C-alpha cells in the first residue's frame, strides 16, 4: 500500500490514517463528522475551503436529518470538484474533497435516503 497505488484506484492515502468503520455506521454521519473537522481547521485563506466546507457540512447535516433537498447530492459532488487538487493554496481542501467524492461514488444510496420525500403538491 503506497500513495501511487492507492491513487490508481481513485483514492488517496492522505496522512496515512486508517479508520475501521462498522457496516452499521451511517456513511453520511461519518462524512459529516470528517467534513466538520476540515471546516473547523480551515485557515480561511481560500474561498472554496473557507466557504465551501461549512456549506458542505450544512448539506450533510440536512441529509443526516432526512431533510435534504433534491439537488443537494449534486451540489456536494460539485463541492468535491471545486475543492480538488490545484484549486486551493494547500492540500487541506483536497483532503476534504476526496472522501466526499468517494463517499458519494460508493454510498450514493445512503445520501439519497437523506433527501426529504415531498408530497406531490409540494414539488415545485
Ligand atoms: S486550502 Fe489550505 S490555505 Fe486554503 S483555506 Fe484551506 S487550509 Fe487555508
Q: What is the reported pTM? A: 0.88
Atom of ligand 1 nearest to the CA of 42: 7
For residue 62, what are the domain limits? 22-117
d(Cα 92, Cα 71) in Å, to the nearest integer? Answer: 26
Number of folded domains in the chain? 1
Q: Check pocket membership of 43 for ligand 1, CB cut-off 6 A.
A: yes
If one residue of 42, 50, 83 were mutated to test the ligand 1 pocket, choosing by the most ligand atoms within 8 A of its CB, it would be 42
Does some domain include residue 3? no
Question: Each residue of 11-38: pLDDT tens digit?
Answer: 778 778 888 999 999 999 999 999 999 9
Does some domain include residue 16? no
Does some domain include residue 6? no
CATH number at residue 62: 1.20.1440.230
pLDDT at residue 119, as a whole number: 57
Q: What integer is the mean pLDDT of 52-71?
A: 96
d(Cα 59, Cα 78) in Å, to the nearest integer? Answer: 12
Atom of ligand 1 nearest to the CA of 44: 5
pLDDT at residue 97, as a whole number: 93
Does some domain include residue 124? no
d(Cα 6, Cα 123) in Å, to the nearest integer? Answer: 42
Amino acid at each position: 500500500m503506497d500513495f501511487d497505488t492507492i491513487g490508481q484506484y481513485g483514492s488517496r492515502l492522505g496522512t496515512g490514517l486508517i479508520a475501521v468503520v462498522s457496516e452499521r455506521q451511517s456513511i453520511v454521519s461519518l462524512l459529516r463528522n470528517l467534513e466538520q473537522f476540515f471546516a473547523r481547521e480551515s485557515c480561511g485563506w481560500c474561498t472554496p475551503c473557507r466557504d465551501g466546507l461549512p456549506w458542505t457540512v450544512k448539506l450533510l447535516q440536512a441529509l443526516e436529518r432526512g431533510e435534504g433537498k433534491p439537488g443537494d447530492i449534486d451540489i456536494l459532488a460539485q463541492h468535491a470538484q471545486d475543492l480538488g487538487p490545484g484549486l486551493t493554496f494547500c492540500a487541506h481542501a483536497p483532503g476534504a474533497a476526496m472522501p466526499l467524492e468517494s463517499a458519494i461514488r460508493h454510498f450514493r444510496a445512503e445520501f439519497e435516503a437523506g433527501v426529504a420525500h415531498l408530497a406531490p403538491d409540494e414539488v415545485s
